[in-house]
């Protein structure tokens, strides 16, 4: 199995996949001993009608062990969906995570409303 980072987004208010969410992936450099980590852009995409990306965010030789950040642009999605409270609390949702084995799959889903979110390491 080839390692990769993948995601999908679910709109838990509407109870359906969140299509059209802009997603950015960054590789984090530095860490706790150097203060806030520097970030290097790795990928940018938009979710499809199924709330998924058409391809993994990162895979192959470019996928290495280390720290990553996925940024979901939830406020823009909720404004486009017509939610009255869009952007009044959540504008972006950054999720920082660590890849310890780049031969494994790291699926990082987002369940989101204009007021809250949840994530987990999926399969």
Cβ pair 9, 51 in contact under 8 A:
yes
Residue 86: give its domain's CATH number.
Answer: 2.60.40.180
| pLDDT for residue 62 | 92
Q: If phi over 0 gives left and psi between -120 and 50 gives alpha, with beta otherwise, what is residue 46?
A: beta
Q: What is the mean pLDDT of residues 25-42?
A: 77
Two tokens, residue 48 = 């499809």
- How many whole angstroms separate alpha carbon 103 and alpha carbon 75? 33
| pLDDT for residue 35 | 58
| pLDDT for residue 31 | 54
Provide the domain count of the chain: 1
Beta pairing, strands 9-11 & 110-112? parallel
Res. 32: pLDDT tops 80: no
Q: What digits encode the pLDDT tens for the residues 83-119?
A: 998 989 999 999 999 999 999 999 999 999 999 999 9
Res. 1: pLDDT tops 60: no
Host domain of residue 17:
4-119
Q: What is the largest CA-CA distance in the chain?
A: 43
| pLDDT for residue 103 | 95
């Amino acid at each position: 199995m080839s390692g990769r980072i993948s995601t999908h987004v679910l709109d838990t208010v509407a109870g359906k996949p969140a299509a059209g969410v802009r997603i950015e992936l960054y590789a984090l450099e530095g860490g706790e001993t150097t203060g806030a980590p520097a970030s290097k852009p790795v990928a940018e995409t938009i979710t499809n009608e199924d709330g998924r990306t058409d391809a993994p965010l990162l895979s192959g030789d470019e996928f290495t062990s280390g720290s990553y950040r996925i940024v979901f642009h939830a406020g823009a999605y909720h404004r486009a969906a017509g939610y009255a409270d869009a952007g009044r609390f959540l504008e972006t949702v950054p999720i920082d995570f660590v890849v310890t084995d780049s031969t494994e799959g790291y699926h990082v889903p987002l369940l989101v409303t204009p007021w809250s979110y949840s994530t987990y390491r999926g399969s």
